[in-house]
Amino acid sequence: MTITQLSYVLAVAENQNFTKAAQKCFVTQPTLSMQIQKLEDQLDILIFDRTKKPIELTDVGRKIVTQARNIVNESYRIQDIVDQQKGFIGGEFKLGIIPTVMPTLLPMFLRNFIKKHPKVKLKIEELTTEEIMLRIKDGHLDAAIAATPLEDENIKERVLYFEPFVNYIPKNHRLHGAKKIDVADLEVDDMLLLEDGHCFREGVINLCKTFKNQTEETFQLESGSIETLIRLSNEGLGMTLLPYLHTLEINDKEKENLHYFNEPIPAREVSLIYHKSELKMQIIEALQDVISGVVRGAIAFQNVKIISPLPK
Amino acid sequence: MTITQLSYVLAVAENQNFTKAAQKCFVTQPTLSMQIQKLEDQLDILIFDRTKKPIELTDVGRKIVTQARNIVNESYRIQDIVDQQKGFIGGEFKLGIIPTVMPTLLPMFLRNFIKKHPKVKLKIEELTTEEIMLRIKDGHLDAAIAATPLEDENIKERVLYFEPFVNYIPKNHRLHGAKKIDVADLEVDDMLLLEDGHCFREGVINLCKTFKNQTEETFQLESGSIETLIRLSNEGLGMTLLPYLHTLEINDKEKENLHYFNEPIPAREVSLIYHKSELKMQIIEALQDVISGVVRGAIAFQNVKIISPLPK
DNA sequence: AACATCTATCAATAAAAATTATGAAAAAAA
DNA sequence: TTTTTTTCATAATTTTTATTGATAGATGTT
């Protein structure tokens, strides 16, 4: 039994296909077939049920895959120990970012980070919180930036910053006249929201519910991006809430529609999250340093009240 | 990096010697030298400091060995999963037994066990509780039989039986006339004990202390085996306590010196203990079944009061 | 029926591991 | 000190193992 064989098994289990798995392993398909057969022969069991299309794991196979993932992941940690010893910060690093953070935060720190740590090959992907949590647990992501707290025992969190919510209220809206807005003024029925699956949406709904006991039944419109939200709002379809960093990007005319909250200002907590095993911790800490440094200049609010974005 | 290389590293780390390690791995010494060098080259670090005699681990080396042990142990669990699936009970199994249990319990169950599970290659070693705990943690023992509770978070326990203490009181002793003895009658100063390191000694001392607030200062004599204890006692050097199973083995004349306790009868708890990772659990359960079955016939006390043998 | 997709098999070859034989350095013994 | 022994490294060679390209067979699709 070798680590290579185990990783071949993992690849086939994940792809449910020898040919695709072989590509991901950068070997030919017969290599996988033969090595996996060899392992099956040695253990004298079948890991895959090849009669099923697509291929399926047997009962033992499922248990073996779980253990194999364990072993393969633990084997990565050997290199990690060496890197840590050398103070080496480099190698491939897969980072997930939620959609409502991606467009504003990424440009702020990416250039800085690459400059400071040129040996790290960052692979960044925009994913929902749900996908992020799955992929951190199965090892396909090394870390992610998401709204917290998540309260998942397998995932650790390091708070990066608190991002205040800002009201975006078009000219024709009943609240446009008000200089500063109170949380109690918000009405869900009146608010443009992101579509389901965005945790920012959850945060806003929670905010409204907290202060008005509103149900989440009747939303007027839902959109997939905050950009669209602003456009829709401009068309007079309702007000919306923006995460603070987004308000730095909009044009001067639209800035006139921004209305800040009275203190305490509601905000979301944005954190760097990673698996509890703390693999590649040097890079995670490097990321935290760079991002915290950059954000400290951009967000300088005090008396910020935090609401939980995933209040299930 | 391969599991084989990692196990070579473990062998050298444990033996502090390439030649001996090679023998344990059933390969020649150059094989180890080359494979370990190859691993060191790939990681671009030194695992061993070869200038020191005997050879020593480097700082990184120590961390790598810890992780390597992890990986190698986890790799054994693959075979374990397969065995479990097949209901196969076999392979090498290393069992430790404390000295005061070994001579009485082993003959009771060994023949039975071998008959019932002929494919298991039992390797049994007599060890103190302290050694047992170390070796269970480092994987050199699969399980052990010891007095419990141990209260170690890495070690799980399954109680096999409660073994009452029996007084062995020679003719000339002040208590010889008494038919039944009370725990309160015991005097540490008056009692022959096993030498330091035997947990049975701890148990007895604890028993005396519990009822008389005696200090453990002045013991008259100490011995390494219970056999010797009986001989010394016969010579009129004091009374002693025997674990019940030992009393079944002594000759008729000596049996006259046995005096049972009044209820509640003090006893020690004897358990099958094993690492929390539950490797080779099928064999552990098979052992438990056989031993419990055998002992149930031999010990049939009720109203047994338990004292902790390791009261630190 | 023809085609496409997928895995297994085979022989050839490349790569890696293990072995035997040997050498050099350090420790132990004379 | 000199000799002997121990111990690890190196080199050349053999053995074993992994990988590949080509292809066959099986299954499902159009």
User: Per residue in A100-132, pLDDT tens?
Assistant: 899 899 999 999 999 999 999 999 999 989 999
Q: Return the structure tokens found at B33.
A: 């030298």
Distance CA A65, CA A295 (A): 41
By C-alpha distance, which of A169, A215, A213 is closest to A191? A169
Residue B86 with chain A: CB contacts under 8 Å = 45
CB A114 within 8 A of CB A185: no
Q: Which chain A residue is nearest to residue B63, measuring alpha carbons?
A: A81
Question: What average pLDDT does the segment A38-52 reach?
Answer: 94
Question: What average pLDDT does the segment B138-142 reach?
Answer: 91
Question: What average pLDDT does the segment B130-140 reach?
Answer: 91
B5 interfacial to chain A (CB closer than 8 Å): no
Cis status, amide bond into A107, omega within 30 of 0: no
Which residue type occupies B284?
I
Domains detected in chain B: 3-84 (1.10.10.10), 89-162+268-305 (3.40.190.10), 163-267 (3.40.190.10)
For residue range A238-289, list pLDDT tens digits in order: 888 888 998 988 888 888 888 888 877 888 899 999 999 899 999 999 999 9
Residue B304 to residues A116, B16, B169, B267, Cα–Cα distance (Å): 70, 48, 21, 6
Q: Distance between alpha carbon A288 and the CA centroid of its chain, in Å?
A: 15
By C-alpha distance, which of B142, B140, B137 is closest to B155? B137
> Can you give the distance from the CA of residue B45 to the C1' of nucleotide D2 in angstroms?
38
Q: In a 3-state reduction of DSSP, which class is residue B160? A: strand
Q: Which of A54-58, A211-215, B159-163, B240-244 has the lowest mean pLDDT?
A: A211-215
Is 90 exceeded by the pLDDT of residue B58? yes
CB neighbours of residue B218 within 10 Å: 8
Which residue type occupies B265?
I
Q: Which chain A residue is nearest to residue B65, measuring alpha carbons?
A: A78
Nearest nucleotide (C1') to alpha carbon of A19: C6
Q: In a 3-state reduction of DSSP, which class is residue B242? A: strand
Q: pLDDT: is A195 or A293 the higher one? A: A293
Put simply, the chain A residues between 50 and 109 with a CB less than 8 A from any chain B CB are: 59-60, 63-64, 67-68, 70-71, 74-75, 77-79, 81-82, 85-86
Which residue type occupies B98?
I
Which residue type occupies B48?
F
CB burial of A168-178 (b: ≥16 within 10 Å; e: otherwise) equals bbbeebeeeee
Question: What average pLDDT does the segment A20-31 reach?
Answer: 96
Residue nearest to nucleotide C17 (CA to C1'): B31
pLDDT of residue A220: 45
Q: Return the structure tokens found at A84.
A: 């840590």
Q: Which of A102-106, A132-136, B229-233, B298-302 has the lowest mean pLDDT?
A: B298-302
pLDDT of residue A188: 64
CB A98 within 8 A of CB A129: yes
Distance CA A216, CA A213 (A): 10
Q: pLDDT: is A235 or B214 the higher one? A: A235
> Which pLDDT band holds residue A311 (cuts at 50, 70, 90)?
very low
CB A300 within 8 A of CB A294: no
Q: Which chain B residue is nearest to residue A4, measuring alpha carbons?
A: B2
Residue A280 sits at φ, ψ, to 5 deg, of 55, 40
Question: What average pLDDT does the segment A142-164 reach?
Answer: 93
Using CB atoms within 10 Å of the CB of residue B66, give its burial: 0 to 12 exposed, 13 to 18 middle, 19+ buried: exposed
pLDDT of residue A80: 93
pLDDT of residue B307: 65
Using CB atoms within 10 Å of the CB of residue B131, give its burial: 0 to 12 exposed, 13 to 18 middle, 19+ buried: middle
Is 50 exceeded by the pLDDT of residue B219? no
Residue of A75, A76, A279 best to disrupt the B interface, most CBs of B under 10 A: A75
Is 60 exceeded by the pLDDT of residue B3? yes
Question: What average pLDDT does the segment B231-254 reach?
Answer: 85
Q: Residue A45 and residue B86: Cβ atoms within 8 Å?
A: yes
Distance CA A112, CA A156 (A): 24
By C-alpha distance, which of A74, A117, A75, A72 is closest to A95? A117
pLDDT of residue A94: 94
Residue A152 sits at φ, ψ, to 5 deg, of -120, 125
Q: Residue A81 and residue B67: Cβ atoms within 8 Å?
A: yes
CB A310 within 8 A of CB A202: yes
CB neighbours of residue A287 within 10 Å: 26
Q: pLDDT: is A179 or B57 the higher one? A: B57
Is 80 exceeded by the pLDDT of residue B223? no
Residue found by looking up tokens 């010990």 in the block: B299
Residue B77 with chain A: CB contacts under 8 Å = 67
CB A276 within 8 A of CB A155: yes
Put simply, the chain A residues between 16 and 45 with a CB less than 8 A from any chain B CB are: 43-45
CB A176 within 8 A of CB A233: no
Question: What average pLDDT does the segment B85-112 reach?
Answer: 91
A217 interfacial to chain B (CB closer than 8 Å): no
> Can you give the distance from the CA of residue B41 to the C1' of nucleotide D18 in angstroms?
21
What secondary structure letter does DSSP report for A195? P
CB B80 within 8 A of CB B221: no
Distance CA B48, CA B54 (A): 11
CB A301 within 8 A of CB A265: yes
pLDDT of residue B218: 42
Question: What average pLDDT does the segment A169-198 reach?
Answer: 73
Residue A65 with chain B: CB contacts under 8 Å = none
Asked whether strand C has any atom less than 7 Å from the CB of A37, the reply is yes
Is 90 exceeded by the pLDDT of residue B194? no
Q: pLDDT: is A283 or A305 the higher one? A: A283
Which residue type occupies A255?
K
Q: Residue B82 and residue A45: Cβ atoms within 8 Å?
A: yes
What secondary structure letter does DSSP report for A209? H
Q: Return the structure tokens found at B45.
A: 């670090």
CB neighbours of residue B198 within 10 Å: 23
Question: What average pLDDT does the segment B60-86 reach?
Answer: 94
pLDDT of residue A312: 35
Is 90 exceeded by the pLDDT of residue B95? yes
pLDDT of residue B235: 79
Provide the positions of strand C that have an atom within 7 A of a protein CB. 6-11, 17-21, 26-28
> Which pLDDT band holds residue A22 (cuts at 50, 70, 90)?
very high
> Can you give the distance from the CA of residue B19 to the C1' of nucleotide D6 in angstroms?
10
Q: Kindly give the pairing relationship between strand A155-168 and strand A239-243.
A: antiparallel
Distance CA A173, CA A176 (A): 5
User: Which residues make beta-bridge pairs with A146?
Assistant: A271
Residue A109 sits at φ, ψ, to 5 deg, of -115, -15
Distance CA B244, CA B238 (A): 19
> Which pLDDT band holds residue A216 (cuts at 50, 70, 90)?
very low
CB A193 within 8 A of CB A219: yes
Question: What average pLDDT does the segment A13-24 reach?
Answer: 95
Residue A299 sits at φ, ψ, to 5 deg, of -115, 115
Chain B nearest-CA distance from A78, in A, is: 6
For residue range B245-283, list pLDDT tens digits in order: 989 888 888 888 888 888 778 888 999 999 998 999 999
Q: Return the structure tokens found at A51.
A: 């009669």
B167 contact partners, CB below 8 Å, separation of at least 6: B175, B181, B239, B240, B241, B242, B258, B259, B260, B261
Residue nearest to nucleotide D20 (CA to C1'): A28
Mean pLDDT of all residues belonging to chain A: 86
pLDDT of residue B311: 37
Question: What average pLDDT does the segment A210-228 reach?
Answer: 57
Q: Which of A18-22, A60-64, A65-69, B254-258 has the lowest mean pLDDT?
A: B254-258
